[in-house]
Amino acid sequence: MRYVLKQRLLSWGDDFYIKDENERDVYFVDGKAFSIGDQLSFQDLQGNELAFIKQKVLSWGKTYEISRSGAVVAVVKKALFAPFHHRFTVDVPGPDDLEAEGNFTDHEYTFRRGDRTVATVSKQWFAWTDTYGIEIAPGEDAVLILASAVVVDQACHPDDGKRH
């Protein structure tokens, strides 16, 4: 499935709209403007929270927790040392951890589980705001991968001058 993640140009906090491949809004990510560390609520269009993203402020490196119904379902962490490429790990319960690797400065990277690519992320440069195309393999947890892509954006581009 293909999604388009677009950051709002003028907003209090970091807000994102997520559209499907037919340009229909499917999710909204509401960034909390006045919080210590990044905090974002990943919601459906009716305002139901599907996931909550919270930056762990007292940790080594950029670390975020993704929770559902109050339980942590993933910890996304930027690798402290990756000499050739930046790298993020998405630690989920059990053996299904993900790794994001690529060129985060140019907004081009993939999510992999072992040797299998489960999602690709690519930025469209013509937009005023951060706009990403995200293609997710069938059978994957779209909310988890989309929330992880939001985390990568927050960690690699912490302000981009958008907070007002």
Question: CATH number, domain at 137?
Answer: 2.40.160.200
Q: Are 142 and 148 in contact (CB under 8 A)?
A: no
What is the pLDDT tens value at each position of the chain, 164 positions in all?
999 988 755 444 578 889 998 889 999 998 876 566 789 999 999 999 999 999 987 767 789 999 999 999 999 998 876 555 678 999 999 888 999 998 876 678 999 999 999 999 987 655 556 678 999 999 999 999 999 998 888 887 765 444 43
- Residue 163 domain-assigned (yes or no): no
For 137-156, letters b (16+ CB in 10 Å) and e give eeebbbbbbbbbbbbbbbbb
pLDDT of res. 161: 42
What is the model's pTM?
Answer: 0.85
- Residue 47 domain-assigned (yes or no): yes
pLDDT of res. 12: 45
Dist. CA 152–CA 120, nearest whole Å: 13
Residue 112, domain extent: 2-156
**Token pair recorded at residue 57:** 């402020």
Q: What is the total count of domains within the chain?
A: 1
Dist. CA 83–CA 80, nearest whole Å: 10
Dist. CA 36–CA 21, nearest whole Å: 34
Q: How far is CA 106 from the centre of its chain?
A: 15
- Residue 96 domain-assigned (yes or no): yes
- Residue 94 domain-assigned (yes or no): yes
Q: Are 107 and 130 in contact (CB under 8 A)?
A: yes
- Residue 162 domain-assigned (yes or no): no
